[in-house]
Amino acid sequence: MYLQSLSVLDYKNIESAEIEFSSKLNCFLGDNGAGKTNILDSIYYLSFTKSFFNAVDTLNVRYGCEMFGLKGTYHNNNESDHVAVGYKLNQKKQVKRNKKAYKRFSDHIGLYPLVMVSPSDTSLIIGGSDERRKFLDGVISQFDTGYLNALLRYNRVLQQRNNLLKKFADENRFDEDTLSIYDVQLCEYGNFIHKKRKGFVEAIIEVFQEFYQYISGGQEKVVLEYQSTLSDSNLDEELEKNRKKDRLIQHTSIGIHRDDLLLNLGDYPMKKVGSQGQTKTYLVALKLAQFEYLKNASGIKPILLLDDVFDKLDTNRVEKIVQLVTDDKFGQIFMTDTNREHLEHIVEKVGSDYHIFRVENGEVKK
C-alpha cells in the first residue's frame, strides 16, 4: 500500500499543491518554516482524519482563507482508493472514501496505517502521562476498532461519573447505587483497554530495544514499562476503595485514564539523564517498533513519515537510521530535512526509486 498522489488546497501555509509520489522514497528539502512539515501533516490527516499537531481544524486553515481541502489516491493490490477531506470554517468537516462520506470518522482509522516521527515527539518523554496514553491509544486504535470503541465508551462513562460526583457535592447528597452503575461500565471497558495496552507494550519491548541498540551502537540500555494500577489490583475493588476520596475531590481518581509508560535510560528517567541524541534515538526506536507492530497486526507496511529525524544525532546514528529505513522491510517513506547531504546519502542507498521535492514559502517543486 502506498500514497500515489496528493492534492492540497489552503492547508496551513500550503496554498495549492499537486504532487505525484514515488512508491518508495520521497524527500522534501527546504528551510525551516517553508512548509515541509505541513506536507507530511496533510498525509497524516488523510490517515487519521485529523492533524498530527492541531486538533482544532480552524488552526489548519491557511491564514485569510475560509476552508481547506485534501485529496489522496492510494494504490493497494492493483486497486486505487480515493480519500478526500473538506473543512469550512464554522461547519462540520467531511471525510469521503471513494466518494462515500463517513458517518463516523473512527470507521476510517486503520485503513491506511501510518507512523510519524517528529521533533514534537519529545512530549512523550518530557510531557505528562496523558501524552504517553495518547501514544498507546493512537497505535492500538489503528488496527483494533474494538479497542477504539471501548476507549470512546470508557471516556464517555468516565465523564458521566465525574459529572455525577459533582452533582452529589452540589446537592449535598450521595447515591451509591447510581454510582455503582457507572462503576460496572468503567470496569468492563477499563479491563479490556488495560489488557490491550499491556499486550501492546509486551509485544514491542524486545524489538524496541533491538532498534535502540542498533542505532546507538549497543552502548546503552533502555527500559520501556507499562504502569497501571490494574497491573496489581482489580478496578472494581479500587473504585470501591477510593469512593470516599472521589466524593471529596469530585472526580474519578483511579482507572486506566491514569496509566503511564516508564521511559528509562538505564535505571533513570530518560527525561532527566538523556542527552538530546539519546532522547532522539529513544523516540526513533520507539516509533520504528510501532511500525513493526502495525505491520504485523495489519499485514500492511505502514507509510513512514520522518520529519527532521536527523537533527541532534551524530554521524554514526544517522548512518544507522539510514541503513534501517532503506531496508526492504519498510514500504513508502516520506522525509524532510534542511541538509541536502543527508538526503543524497539516503538516495544513494535506495537506488533509482525516489523523488526529491523542494519546498519554498509553501510551494512544492519536484
Determine the pLDDT at residue 143. Answer: 85
Give the pLDDT band of residue 329 (cuts 50, 70, 90). Answer: confident
Residues 340 and 366 in one domain: yes
Burial class (CB in 10 A: 0-12, 13-18, 19+), 124: buried
Residues 155 and 106 in one domain: no
In a domain, 120, yes or no: no
* Residue among 289, 257, 297, 38 at smallest CA distance from 155: 257
Given CA atoms 320, 340, 362, 326 in this order, what sign does their dihedral have? negative
CATH at residue 208: 1.20.1050.90
Residues 205 and 323 in one domain: no
In a domain, 48, yes or no: yes
Q: What is the pLDDT of residues 269-294, one digit of tens each?
A: 999 999 999 999 999 999 999 999 99
Residues 251 and 153 in one domain: yes
Q: Say if residue 320's pLDDT is above 90.
A: no
**Conformational region of residue 177, where left means phi above 0, alpha means psi within -120 to 50, and beta covers everything else:** alpha
Q: Say if residue 44's pLDDT is above 90.
A: yes
Residues 169 and 53 in one domain: no
Residues 150 and 250 in one domain: yes
Determine the pLDDT at residue 341. Answer: 73
CA–CA distance, 287 with 270 (Å, rounded to integer): 16
Domain boundary among 299, 328, 344: 299
Rounded mean pLDDT of 139-166?
94
Q: Say if residue 350's pLDDT is above 80.
A: no
Rounded mean pLDDT of 105-111?
90
Q: Looking at the chain, how many residues does it have?
A: 366
Structural domain that includes position 166: 125-299
Q: What is the number of structural domains in the chain?
A: 2
In a domain, 119, yes or no: no
Provide the edge-to-edge strand list for the sheet that holds 222-227: 222-227, 260-265, 268-269
Residues 173 and 277 in one domain: yes
Query: Is the CB of residue 2 less than 8 Å from the CB of residue 21?
Result: yes
Residues 295 and 315 in one domain: no
Give the pLDDT band of residue 344 (cuts 50, 70, 90). Answer: confident
Determine the pLDDT at residue 325. Answer: 81
Residues 167 and 228 in one domain: yes
Residues 37 and 108 in one domain: yes
CATH at residue 95: 3.40.50.300
Helix axes 176-216, 315-325, angle to 10 degrees: 110
Q: Say if residue 348's pLDDT is above 80.
A: no
Rounded mean pLDDT of 223-252?
93
Determine the pLDDT at residue 22. Answer: 92
Residues 178 and 275 in one domain: yes
Q: Can you tell me which residue has the cell 541498540?
A: 213
In a domain, 118, yes or no: no
